[in-house]
């Protein structure tokens, strides 16, 4: 009897009671990444929807940035002084939105390779430092980007996923700006 109950306990501990094995816990993420394995999985899943509208999200985020922090628009000789309508009609603006979002897209692809991700963010940060931009200016993009993602995901933008997007964009911009400060 005692023996049977200890077998039962053992089975329960192993998560195999009733014959249904528990799924393996996902392997832990790189400690430099501020996301748990579950959060990483949720981000990868959510990002698939963003990926399908990457250029539109990028353009919306940049328009939001230029409205919120007009001084940022002046940094782009070809965008300076243009209205939202003119920007949305401008192929260069579309291309730039894709380039910016391409960096974020690649960092999602590289969530499992944090070294490569940091390398890309460092390179992007250094390019901005060479243009004469200050790190503080780069941070101004975080909020507009999060708002553009929220606008797209709508009801799929839960509090849980919002927190994940905040953590991940902070990680990305932190590495970009760290490289800029090292450069200056
Ligand atoms: C935070 C995320 C950002 C990312 C990932 C990002 C990414 C990029 C990329 C990929 C390029 C194109 C580089 C190339 O030509 O190869 C670029 C150019 C540029 N970015 Fe950013 N950027 C960010 C934020 C900002 C912000 C907030 C400003 C504010 C002024 C800014 C100003 C510029 C300028 C002035 C250029 C050069 C554009 C040109 O060639 O005319 N960036 N950025």
From 95, 127, 136, 147, give the residue whose CB has the most ligand 1 atoms within 8 Å, as the site to mutate.
Answer: 127
- Write the pLDDT tens digit of every residue in 73-95: 999 999 999 999 999 999 999 99
- For ligand 1, the distance from its centroid to the CA atom of residue 128, given in whole angstroms, is 6
Indicate which residue's Cα is closest to atom 29 of ligand 1.
72
Q: What is the pLDDT of residue 25?
A: 74
Q: How many domains does the chain contain in total? A: 1
3-class secondary structure, 65: helix
Residues in the chain: 184
Convert the pLDDT of each residue in 56-66 to its tens digit. 999 999 999 99
Name the residue at shortest CA distance from atom 41 of ligand 1.
76
Is residue 1 domain-resident?
no
Contact 117, 109 (CB under 8 A): no
Q: Is 153 domain-assigned?
A: yes
Task: Please give the DSSP secondary-structure letter assigned to residue 89.
Answer: T
What separation in Å is there between the alpha carbon of 7 and the centre of ligand 1? 61
Pocket of ligand 1, beta carbon within 6 A: 72, 75-76, 99-100, 103, 124, 127-128, 131, 133, 137-138, 140-141, 173, 176
Judge whether 102 lies within some domain: yes
Residues 6+ apart with CB under 8 A from 144: 61, 62, 64, 65, 68
- At residue 115, the 3 state secondary structure works out as helix
* 13-34 tens-digit pLDDT: 444 556 777 777 778 899 999 9
Compute the mean pLDDT over every residue in the chain, rounded to the nearest whole number.
91
Which residues form the domain of 101?
Answer: 34-183
- Whole-model pTM: value is 0.88
Whole-number Å distance between alpha carbons of 29 and 94: 34
Query: What CATH number is associated with residue 109?
Result: 1.10.490.10
Cα separation, 102 vs 180, whole angstroms: 19
In this predicted structure, what is the pLDDT of residue 22?
A: 75
Residue 92 domain flag: yes
pLDDT > 80? residue 150: yes
Cα-flanking dihedrals φ and ψ of residue 131, to 5°?
A: -75, -10
User: For residue 3, is it within any domain?
Assistant: no
């Amino acid at each position: 009897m005692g023996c049977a109950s200890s077998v039962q306990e053992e089975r329960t501990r192993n998560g195999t009671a009733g014959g249904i094995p528990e799924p393996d816990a996902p392997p832990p993420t790189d400690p430099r990444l501020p996301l748990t394995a579950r959060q990483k999985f949720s981000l990868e899943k959510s990002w698939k929807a963003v990926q399908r509208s990457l250029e539109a999200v990028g353009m919306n985020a940049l328009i939001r940035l230029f409205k919120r922090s007009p001084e940022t628009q002046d940094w782009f000789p070809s965008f300076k002084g243009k209205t939202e309508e003119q920007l949305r009609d401008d192929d260069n603006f579309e291309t730039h939105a894709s380039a910016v979002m391409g960096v974020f897209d690649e960092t999602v692809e590289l969530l499992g390779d944090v070294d490569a991700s940091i390398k890309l963010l460092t390179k992007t940060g250094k390019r901005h430092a060479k243009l004469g931009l200050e790190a503080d200016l780069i941070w101004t993009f975080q909020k507009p980007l999060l708002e553009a993602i929220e606008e797209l995901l709508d009801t799929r933008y839960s509090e849980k996923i919002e927190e994940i997007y905040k953590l991940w964009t902070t990680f990305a911009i932190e590495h970009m700006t760290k490289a800029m400060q090292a450069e200056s």
